[in-house]
Amino acid sequence: MTLEKECLSKGIPERAIVIGASLGGLLAARVLFEHFREVFVLERDELPETIAQRRGVPQGRHTHGLLASGGRALEALFPNLSKELIEAGAVRGDIANRSRRFFEGGLLARFVSGLDGILMSRPLLEASVRQRVKAISNVQLCDRIRVLSLAASSDRARITGVRTEDGEWPATLIVDATGRGSQSPKLLAELGYPVPLEERIEIGLSYTTRLFRRRSEQLGGDLMAVIPATPSGKRGGVILAQEDDRWTVTLWSYFGNGPDTDLADFRAFARSLPASHIYDAIQDADPIGEAIASRFPASVRRRYERLKAFPSGLIVFGDAISSFNPLHGQGMSVAAQEALALQREIRGGLDGLATRFFRSAAKIIDTPWRITASADLRIPETVGPRTTSVRLMNWYMSRLHRAGHRDAAIALAFHKVVNLIAPAPSLLAPGIIFRVVKGNLLPRSDGVSRSALREA
């Protein structure tokens, strides 16, 4: 029996439409194909046939990170995708043993954690996922199609399709995966629905990215280094290995001029950071192409899960719900976890799907949003709710990072949280608090404590 006949025999709904063919939209299409006779992905940009940057993903040329949780979620959706990425040149390495994370004047303890990360460019990841989705028989990727508005039933209780420049596309379910610039709040208001509460953390971020040739001896053979901004300096940077023996380097500044695109100025900016790891790697590295500079005014979270009324037949997904400070590298991994949540919730049927999905997505977003907001609120100029709990957590995290210079158990607990494998409250487990207190009271030593590592 063909897939089409099987779908019809089971009474599967006719059509789903995903708006946007970036990573979030592709992941949504991967989930929906099992539940609809046909899935159309409508993209206003022209989709490349190969691994290439595209206009519709302005962040594509900047440094991207796929957290351990995101890698696991993608592997669940696309078995053996990690193997394909590595065969295409992506770089695999232990996130604790082959990385340098500079906090509170020193590096977190380095050890074999068993948590592998995969480093690659955004175009490589997106092209690999796009090819997998294109191979699904009942999914069609349609580019150069701009969605203008939503179509609704006469009582406006149900979204029935989308309107484009070429006419109306009817559908049983619409997924808005258009990212940060999503028009869903505006379109909902036009239909008489309340708009979601919007939370914002104003960060005034300026950042610049450059690519360099990578040599094996640079960074001592490590694959990445992260130097976060400090409240006083407000400057930071990250360097990651990529396919084709490249480094991708992003340098940033909060509430000030970011690094210039000029190579000499870029290197000088790297030299001004609180640690020299990035500068040491790029001071004599050969640049590739030109630099790209961008600005990011604010992290935004739209609280769809709190709405009392919402039309059936519509889901908002990925960055259209929450758009994080890109420096924390959470967006792709959150979208992958949301895809797994959508996969679970849609098995319960289409009735009430939006309500169930938004609640599940909110639980996924809570941890990365808390991490991002707390870290950014350390910068005095950042505009956002500085609650007592945020102040206490930032005070505690500075002590945790100091203790984590020597204590592998603390460092592992931190890595699990930032990779969205463990919830943020796990850093407040009694055993971790004890080790943080102990690590801040004892005199410093050059050794790394690995005791109780299994318990972290």
pLDDT of residue 67: 86
Per-position b or e across 318-340, b if 16+ CB within 10 A of its CB: bbbbbbbbbbbbbbbbbbbbbbb
Q: Could you give all domains of the chain from N- to C-terminal order, each with its CATH number? A: 3-86+122-199+300-371 (3.50.50.60), 92-121+200-298 (3.30.9), 388-455 (no CATH)
Phi, psi at 399, each rounded to 5°: -70, -40
Q: Is 359 helix (H, G, I), strand (E, B) or coil?
A: helix
Beta-strand pair 173-176/314-316: parallel
pLDDT of residue 162: 96
Q: What distances in angstroms separate CA 289 from CA 108, 123, 137, 250, 429, one per listed residue?
A: 33, 16, 38, 14, 47
Dist. CA 266–CA 235, nearest whole Å: 12
Does residue 169 contact residue 42 with C-beta atoms inside 8 Å?
A: yes
Counting as low any pLDDT under 70, the low residues of the chain are 1-12, 56, 58, 444-456
Directed axis angle between helix 68-77 and helix 23-32, to 10°?
40
Count the Cβ atoms, other than its own, within 10 Å of residue 317.
Answer: 28
pLDDT of residue 453: 47
pTM: 0.91
Structure tokens at 295: 């600005």
